Amino acid sequence: MRILLWLVLLFGYVLPAQAHKASDSYLSLAVQGERIDGQWDIALRDLEMAVGLDADDDAAITWDEVRARHEAIAAYALARLRLSSDDAPCPLRVTQHLVDTHTDGAYAVLRLQGACPAAVTTLAIDYNLLFDVDPQHKGLLRLAHGAVTTSAIFAPDTRSQALAPALQSRWRQFADYVRHGVWHIWIGFDHILFLVSLLLPAVLVRQDGRWQARATLKASALDVLAIVTAFTLAHSLTLTLAALGALALPSRLVESAIAASVVLAALNNLWPLVHRWRALVAFGFGLIHGFGFASVLADLGLPQGALVLSLVGFNVGVELGQLAIVAAFLPLAYLLRGGLFYRRVVMAGGSALIALVAVIWFAERALDLKLLA
């Protein structure tokens, strides 16, 4: 029972992550000589925590409420971003306030402008946004210097970084997008829960209407390999097509369909309708998940000078993130597979909790509801 309580607490932590992504901001900077132009997208829900936007406390932030807090938003953001070149500061100012919609909600958009004392070769960035109110927050940077684009992720332990975009190689760009791919599979809770739902029965086999332990680790590994390969091929296909602009689907439809796929995969563990053909299920729903990954990549941006290499890097990162999850899951699941604990608590209880989480996600995304704070 203590393990079941642990699972409830674990999924209770996951529940607030109602959107596809965790707390991120998106900072784009373009350097030309000593001039810096930029745009900073910060989630309204994060700014509500930091500076307060909902003046009438009705749980709905309006444009008028955002506009009334423009000065406070700009002051809060600029106080937490410092740029310098050759140890000389490059002060920024906000030139325009806008609002945009990302896949996980509305964002304040700050248009930025600044200048350094001399032409920039190495730009030092000190990023401290929201770390004081949300230690899990990440800042995603895209820095363009002429035809070269580089990227970085800012976190509490990597809040200060020095970037030299003019010296950036294409292989470094590839490595940056691999890192982004790994990070986004790890914070993509819906993708993780879908994958876990498919993996839970991999160490079991259905016989006479009951789940039984698989005889060998090899059989379980082959089942996992088929599922992961099918999922990988499918989401890589639609991710590539969507990122290159060949296909597009409405964001709400994609996010709702991803939540529905998690529900169905989890329920299939409780009432098995599809067991031997789970790889086909992984492929079918993987096509939808690829559009979800594409939305993340759209927020990051693809450098035109290394388009294919960066796209491949992001895909490789996603696969490495998946393999890390599988590597952590499979040995432990195989060791536990023979007992009632795995079948009833991990398999049945875990699948029920996953389905509950995904049903709430689906309601929020499809109906534009706010069921969770």
Show the DSSP H helices in 188-250 as ranges: 189-199, 217-243
> Predicted confidence band at 64 (pLDDT cuts at 50, 70, 90)?
very high
pLDDT in tens, 315-348: 999 999 999 999 999 999 999 999 999 999 999 9
Residue 342 falls inside a structural domain: yes
Last residue of a domain, one of 114, 138, 168: 168
> Predicted confidence band at 13 (pLDDT cuts at 50, 70, 90)?
very low
Looking at residue 181, its pLDDT comes to 87
Q: Are residues 140 and 195 in the same domain?
A: no
Q: Are residues 272 and 206 in the same domain?
A: yes
Residue 139 falls inside a structural domain: yes
Q: Are residues 359 and 228 in the same domain?
A: yes
pLDDT in tens, 196-237: 999 999 999 988 888 899 999 999 999 999 999 999 999 999
Q: Are residues 332 and 264 in the same domain?
A: yes
Percent of the chain with pLDDT over 90: 55
Q: Are residues 138 and 245 in the same domain?
A: no
- The average confidence (pLDDT) of the chain is 86
Looking at residue 186, its pLDDT comes to 81
Strand partners, 103: none
Judged against a pLDDT cut of 60, whether residue 2 lies above it is answered with no
Residue 373 falls inside a structural domain: no
Looking at residue 309, its pLDDT comes to 77
DSSP per residue, 74-103: HHHHHTTEEEEETTEE--EEEEEEEEEEET
Residue 12 falls inside a structural domain: no
Looking at residue 323, its pLDDT comes to 93
Q: Are residues 198 and 83 in the same domain?
A: no
Looking at residue 169, its pLDDT comes to 66
> Predicted confidence band at 269 (pLDDT cuts at 50, 70, 90)?
very high
pLDDT in tens, 39-51: 999 999 999 999 9
Q: Which two tokens stand for residue 37?
A: 């132009």
Q: Which two tokens stand for residue 186?
A: 């790890």
Helix (H) or strand (E) holding 245: none
Residue 10 falls inside a structural domain: no
| CA–CA dist 194, 56 (Å, integer) | 38
Looking at residue 38, its pLDDT comes to 96
Q: Are residues 164 and 185 in the same domain?
A: no
Last residue of a domain, one of 168, 199, 231: 168
Q: Are residues 258 and 228 in the same domain?
A: yes
pTM, two decimals, is 0.73
Last residue of a domain, one of 136, 168, 200: 168
Could you give the number of structural domains in the chain? 2
- Compute the chain's Rg from CA coordinates: 22
> Predicted confidence band at 354 (pLDDT cuts at 50, 70, 90)?
very high
> Predicted confidence band at 248 (pLDDT cuts at 50, 70, 90)?
confident
Q: Are residues 140 and 219 in the same domain?
A: no
| CA–CA dist 135, 128 (Å, integer) | 10
Q: Which two tokens stand for residue 221?
A: 């590994």
Q: Are residues 78 and 217 in the same domain?
A: no
Residue 303 falls inside a structural domain: yes
Residue 99 falls inside a structural domain: yes
Looking at residue 6, its pLDDT comes to 41
Looking at residue 19, its pLDDT comes to 39
Judged against a pLDDT cut of 60, whether residue 5 lies above it is answered with no
Which residue range forms the structural domain that includes residue 83? 26-168
Looking at residue 304, its pLDDT comes to 60
Amino acid at 196: V
Q: Are residues 193 and 329 in the same domain?
A: yes
Tell me the average pLDDT across 120-135. Answer: 92
Q: Which two tokens stand for residue 304?
A: 């035109």
Tell me the average pLDDT across 157-178. Answer: 80
Q: Are residues 189 and 246 in the same domain?
A: yes
> Predicted confidence band at 16 (pLDDT cuts at 50, 70, 90)?
very low
Percent of the chain with pLDDT over 70: 89
In the sheet that holds 138-145, the strands lie side by side as 92-102, 105-115, 35-43, 24-32, 138-145, 148-154
- Which positions ≥6 away from 322 have C-beta within 8 Å? 185, 195, 228, 231, 232
Looking at residue 257, its pLDDT comes to 93
Tell me the average pLDDT across 254-258. Answer: 91
Judged against a pLDDT cut of 60, whether residue 373 lies above it is answered with no
Residue 13 falls inside a structural domain: no
